C-alpha cells in the first residue's frame, strides 16, 4: 500500500473510532466507582459498564431481568411499578429468612431519591434481587416493582455491587450518543459544579444562590424561603476553602435535560476545622445550555 494511502487509511480509522457511540448518560465516573449498571426495561436487559477512566466505559455484558407487574414510572406506594431514574445501591440484604421470591440475595436501591421526593413520588422497597430457585423462568413483568435477576447471574455480580457507591440507572431503553454530544453536556455541568464551589469559597452568596432554580425546594422550603435561611446560615460561616473531589456526573434516563452531580465536599472553616460531606445535586439544563439546581440531597 502506498505511504500516502496508508496515512489516509489510518487517519480515517482513527476518526471512525472516535465517532463510535458511547452511553449517553455516563458523563464522568470517578475512580471510586468501578461499575455502572443500566436497566433497560423495554428489552428486559440489565447492562454492565466497567470504568476505564473518568470518561470511557467498557460494555461488560448484559443479563435478563424482570420488573414490576405494573410496568414502569413508579409514582405511588403499592402501584407495583418500577421507577425510572438514577439510583444507588444502599446495602446488601441476607434473604435467607425472607420469601423465596427474593432469591439468593438482595440489594436495596435508594428510591425515592431527592428528585422523586421533589415530584411527590411515594413508596419504597425497590431492590435488585434474585428469584425463587424453584420458580422457573420469570416473565418480564413479575415483581412488586423491583428488578429481579437470575440467581446465578446475581451471584456472579454480587461482589460488584458496592453499597452507597454503585449507580443503577433505570431506563426504558439504552441510549447512545456521540462523544462530542456527551462532552458538551459534561463540560457544561462540570463548569456549573466548579462555579458553585467557587462561589461558596469566595462567600459570593448572590452567585451561589443564582445556581439554584426558582423551582428548587429543600426541607419543606421554597426557593425564597431557603435563600433567606441560607443567608442566615451559610453566609455566616467562616469558610476559608472548598474542595470538590470524586465527581460523578450522570444524565437522568427518564427526564431529558436533567443531570446528577455527586461529589465529596470538603469545607475548611476558621483556622483548620474541616467539614466533609457527600453531596448530590440534580441540575436542569435550559435551552440556552445553562444549568440550575432543582433538587439536592446528601449521601
Per-residue pLDDT of the chain (299 residues; tens, 9 = 90+): 555 544 444 444 444 445 689 999 999 999 999 999 999 999 999 999 999 999 999 999 999 999 999 999 999 999 999 999 999 999 999 999 999 999 999 999 999 999 999 999 999 999 999 999 987 678 999 999 999 999 999 999 999 999 999 999 999 999 999 999 999 999 999 999 999 999 999 999 999 999 999 999 998 999 999 999 999 999 999 999 999 999 999 999 999 999 999 999 999 998 878 999 999 999 999 988 899 999 999 98
Same domain? 170 vs 255: no
- CATH number of the domain at 154, please: 2.40.440.10
Last residue of a domain, one of 122, 141, 176: 176
Domain's final residue, options 145, 176, 207 = 176
Decide if 7 is inside a domain: no
CATH of residue 233's domain is 3.10.450.50
Each residue of 46-97: pLDDT tens digit? 999 999 999 999 999 999 999 999 999 999 999 999 999 999 999 999 999 9
Give residue 113's domain range. 21-176
pLDDT at position 274: 92
- Asked whether residue 5 is domain-assigned, the answer is no
Specify burial of residue 234 (Cβ count, 10 A radius: 0-12, 13-18, 19+).
Answer: middle
Same structural domain, 290 and 182: yes
Same domain? For 125 and 262 the reply is no
- What is the pLDDT at residue 289? 86
Model pTM score: 0.91
Q: What's the total number of domains in the chain?
A: 2
Determine contact, residues 170/39, Cβ cutoff 8 Å: yes
| pLDDT on residue 45 | 97
Residue 216 located in a structural domain? yes
pLDDT value for 33: 97
pLDDT of residue 19: 65
pLDDT at residue 6, rounded to an integer? 43
Amino acid at each position: 500500500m502506498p505511504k500516502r494511502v496508508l496515512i489516509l487509511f489510518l487517519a480515517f480509522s482513527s476518526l471512525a473510532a472516535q465517532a463510535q457511540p458511547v452511553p449517553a448518560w455516563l458523563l464522568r465516573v470517578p475512580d471510586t466507582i468501578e461499575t455502572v449498571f443500566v436497566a433497560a426495561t423495554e428489552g428486559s436487559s440489565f447492562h454492565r459498564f466497567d470504568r476505564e477512566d473518568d470518561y470511557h466505559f467498557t460494555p461488560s455484558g448484559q443479563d435478563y431481568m424482570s420488573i414490576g407487574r405494573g410496568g414502569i414510572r413508579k409514582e405511588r406506594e403499592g402501584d407495583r411499578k418500577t421507577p425510572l431514574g438514577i439510583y444507588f445501591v444502599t446495602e446488601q440484604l441476607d434473604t435467607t429468612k425472607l420469601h423465596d421470591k427474593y432469591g439468593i440475595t438482595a440489594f436495596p436501591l435508594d428510591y425515592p431519591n431527592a428528585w422523586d421526593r421533589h415530584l411527590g413520588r411515594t413508596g419504597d422497597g425497590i431492590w435488585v434481587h434474585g428469584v425463587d430457585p424453584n420458580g422457573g423462568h420469570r416473565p418480564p413483568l413479575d415483581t412488586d416493582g423491583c428488578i429481579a435477576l437470575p440467581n446465578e447471574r446475581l451471584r456472579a455480580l454480587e461482589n460488584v455491587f458496592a453499597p452507597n457507591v454503585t449507580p443503577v440507572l433505570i431506563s426504558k431503553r439504552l441510549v447512545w450518543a456521540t462523544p462530542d454530544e456527551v462532552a458538551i453536556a459534561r463540560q457544561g455541568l462540570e463548569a456549573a459544579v466548579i462555579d458553585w464551589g467557587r462561589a461558596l469559597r469566595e462567600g459570593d452568596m448572590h452567585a451561589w444562590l443564582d445556581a439554584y432554580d426558582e423551582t428548587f425546594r429543600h426541607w419543606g422550603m421554597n426557593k425564597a424561603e431557603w435563600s433567606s435561611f441560607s443567608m442566615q446560615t451559610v453566609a455566616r460561616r467562616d469558610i476559608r476553602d472548598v474542595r470538590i473531589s470524586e465527581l460523578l456526573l450522570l444524565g437522568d434516563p427518564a427526564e431529558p435535560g436533567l443531570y446528577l452531580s455527586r461529589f465529596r465536599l470538603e469545607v475548611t472553616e476558621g483556622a483548620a476545622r474541616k467539614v466533609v460531606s457527600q453531596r448530590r445535586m440534580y441540575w436542569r439544563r435550559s435551552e440556552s445550555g445553562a444549568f440550575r439546581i432543582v433538587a439536592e440531597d446528601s449521601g
